[in-house]
Amino acid sequence: MDGTDTAEHTEVVDDTASAQGDGAGCYVNPSGEFTRDQNYIATRVTADGADGYPVEPGRYRLVVARACPWANRAIIVRRLLGLEAVLSMGITGPTHDQRSWTFDLDPGGRDPVLGIERLQEAFFARFPGYDRGITVPAIVDIPTGRVVTNDFSQITLDLSTEWRAHHRPGAPDLYPEARRDEIDEVAELVFRDVNNGVYRCGFAGSQRAYEASYHRLFARLDWLSERLAGQRYLVGDTITEADVRLFTTLARFDPVYHGHFKCNRQKLSELPVLWAYAKDLFQTPGFGDTTDFDHIKRHYYQVHTDINPTAIVPAGPDLSGWLAPHGREVLGGRPFGEGTPPGPPPPDEAVPVEHTPSDSQAVRG
């Protein structure tokens, strides 16, 4: 694609930690129920290049923030499918200002591949004056420095379907054709009531709106507990896209959503089925080794200053339980189907050991 583009967006209702609020740390809707119309760039990277961006090894960079649940999905899927060698990844810091996410973790504060300080620069390169949320995950075209898409829901599906020729040997099928209708149905319920539900609790501006979202959230968590009591994974006997989408919210539940967003009927660790399910996934390669609890906490508690004016980051919770036995093996299931686990993450993408539970912390027995 030559030149810059005008409007090429799809409107999605979403409440995301990746959005910039009003630029002053204000996210709560003072009129009551929190809803936000987010516009995501609908362009896709596909095998046939129908939108002008064909799948090509080395051409694109996936920009993520480990703090963000929507970006964490893309990190997990990329790793499970073994796309590290063909789709590079840039990692922003855990916080942002009103302008955008920044590459403050990199030497000189610049992404070493894109050469930019802020993700905003990639959006402006394609859409000058872009006035919508600068969100992660985003895929950037390296030769032009222009953002291709930030449609987080479609990105992970396309990694499974459009990038298939570049999957590692033994990569799992996270979006099997025979199960897609069920995966989509479950994922939609999880998004509406859980992924998005925690934000509707946390950003509600009235007691009535908060309590409605609170009850809806925990009713869905109870439904999920019932569904998972007799099966290891959400759809079928293998890990699918539906499990990835639920996991990133569960991983943030006790560190953030229980207190910060007032989702406090119970902690995740007090919901036996969901806690065991989350631990099972966390201990599966590709999930726990891409989860950065330090970044997660710093993002929410330091960015949402209308909820947490002091920006003090809690010291807890204790993370050792994530490595405790989960007992879900008795339900059977094949985590990777006919495939195999991914190898260890590249050293430059490994989560710092101090940001995740270690074997020495694990509670055994």
Annotated catalytic residue, options 40, 60, 175, 199: 199
Residue type, position 108, single letter: G
Q: Does the annotation count 68 as an active-site position? A: yes
Asked whether the beta carbons of 141 and 148 are under 8 A apart, the reply is: yes
Give Cβ neighbours of residue 11 (< 8 Å, ≥ 6 apart).
37, 38, 39
Give Cβ neighbours of residue 308 (< 8 Å, ≥ 6 apart).
260, 300, 301, 302
- Exposure string for 155-177, b = 16+ CB within 10 A, e = fewer: bbbbbbebbeebbbeebbbbbbe
Annotated catalytic residue, options 60, 68, 233, 301: 68
Note if the bond before 317 is cis, omega within 30 degrees.
yes
Strands of 138-141's sheet in order across = 88-91, 60-64, 138-141, 146-149
- Exposure string for 82-96, b = 16+ CB within 10 A, e = fewer: bbbebbbbbbbbbbb
Asked whether the beta carbons of 252 and 305 are under 8 A apart, the reply is: no
Q: Does the annotation count 201 as an active-site position? A: no
Distance CA 213, CA 251 (A): 20
Asked whether the beta carbons of 255 and 317 are under 8 A apart, the reply is: yes
Catalytic positions are: 68, 199
